[in-house]
Amino acid sequence: MVDSNYNIVEEVSLFIRHLQLKDFSLTTIESYCRDLKEFYSWLNQENIRFFEVKPRMMFSFIEYLDTKVGNNLRKSPATINRYLATLSSYFRFYENTLGFLESGMGNSKNTSPPVFESTVKINKVSTKQVSTSYFRRKETDKSRVKRLFPNEIECLYEAITAVRKDPGMRSRDKLMFRVIYETGIRIGECLGLYLTDIGQPDPLKEFGSIKVVKRNNNAYHIDHYAKTISRTIPVSMDLIFAIDDYICNDRPHLEEFQTLFVNHRSPKSGVYMTRRPVENFFEKLSEGSGIKCTPHKLRHTHGTELAEAGYNELYIANRLGHKSIHTTKKYVHLSLESQTDAYERFILSRKSVLLQ
């Protein structure tokens, strides 16, 4: 990150290096950079350094976010809380490293001619300076990602036929929809799938597997970066055969690109896909079906359906690639119908105890 004079902001560079060493995904690091860019724009407006921030100044920063950033509209609680979480991580890094060391040149005393020597100043930093817990805004359930129900999934899948007139692209997008919905993988992980990551079709077996491989340093594009460790996901053999059918009959082939999903239109036919065309497709699908749908919503639905089927959180976390089980707890919410079914099974299991 650079300042208004295009000078590298040293303290931010050190923090980003720290995130890289901790193996944070590039997408996450970019999010941190965007948040810190706005923070430093505010610091420049206030004419202060980051280690000079006081808790009372956070009112000004939040007002700046609400009035000067983006569309100049009041930000949602989730957005404000994300900025605060970024600052908390940033200040905690320097708190744990005992402050920000600032080097400079000073004039030594009583020397003629004057002799300049290097000086180092330690600026103490503490998370208390930003008091993020105090300034957090309460998030409502409306801010949570909504799941899709079976009838909506069927309607969306059928609508792909109307949205995609080209047979090859229709085949690709229907398959992509199925892969995300039936595995719960992220869109970046989906775009980063290689042909070699797909299990072999076997009519004698009911299940196959798809591998999510973390190959960030060798990925074709930044949009293919995987956020978590590599994992193998069991899938139906029916899905494996559908993938094999697409590869054999519809997928344009270029030797240098081994991703499962590729572009179908010239001049990029056979070249790996990026995120933007996929987002465009889901926007058209949402409009054509009348049902709001995104890749993340399909992923969320998959996780919720696993929970409703009774799978434990550890299994769901591993399948979705969550680093923390706490993410899974916040991620999955059950429908009233599934809760009622579960309670009915519970009542039947304790028939021996009758209280009347």
In terms of phi and psi (left: phi > 0; alpha: psi -120 to 50; beta: otherwise), the region of 7 is: beta
Three-state DSSP at 174 gives helix
From-to residues of CATH 1.10.150 in the chain: 1-122+132-142
| Separation CA 132–CA 197 (nearest Å) | 42
Cα distances from 29 to residues 21, 95, 256, in angstroms, run: 11, 20, 29
pTM of the model: 0.69
Angstrom distance (rounded) from CA 21 to CA 31: 17
Question: Strand, coil or helix: what is 112?
Answer: coil
Closest among 197, 203, 182, 180 to 232, alpha carbons compared: 197
Q: For the chain, which ranges sit under pLDDT 50?
A: 105-109, 115-116, 118, 143, 353-356
Q: What is the amino acid identity at position 38?
A: E
94's CB contacts (< 8 A; 6+ apart) are 11, 15, 51, 100, 125
pLDDT at res. 55:
92
The fold adopted by the segment(s) 150-305 is hpI Integrase; Chain A (1.10.443)
- The helix (run of H) or strand (run of E) holding residue 158 is helix 150-163
Q: What is the pLDDT of residue 331?
A: 58
For 85, counting Cβ atoms within 10 Å of its Cβ (0-12 exposed, 13-18 middle, 19+ buried), the class is middle
Let me know how many helices (H) and strands (E) the chain has, helices first: 14, 4
Predicted local distance difference test score (pLDDT) of residue 219 = 81
Q: Which CATH number is associated with domain 1-122+132-142? A: 1.10.150
CA gap 31, 69 in Å, rounded: 15
Specify the 3-state DSSP secondary structure of 332.
coil
Burial status of residue 179 (CB atoms within 10 A of its CB: 0-12, 13-18, 19 or more): buried
Buried b (16+ CB within 10 A) or exposed e, 250-286: bbbeeeebebbbbbbeeebebbbbbbebbeebbebbb
Listed in order, the ranges of the chain carrying CATH 1.10.443.10 are 150-305
What one-character-per-residue DSSP string does 263-327 give? --STTSTTSBP-HHHHHHHHHHHHHHHTS---HHHHHHHHHHHHHHTT--HHHHHHHHT-S-HHH
Whole-angstrom distance, CA of residue 186 vs CA of residue 295: 7
In sequence order, what DSSP letters do the residues of 3-67 get, joined into one string? Answer: -TTS-B-HHHHHHHHHHHHTT--HHHHHHHHHHHHHHHHHHHHHT--GGG--GGGHHHHHHHHHH
d(CA 352, CA 244): 51
Residue 75 pLDDT? 85
Residue 95, C-beta contacts closer than 8 angstroms, at least 6 positions apart: 125, 126, 127
User: What is the pLDDT at residue 355?
Assistant: 44
Residues 212 and 233 sit within 8 Å (Cβ to Cβ):
yes
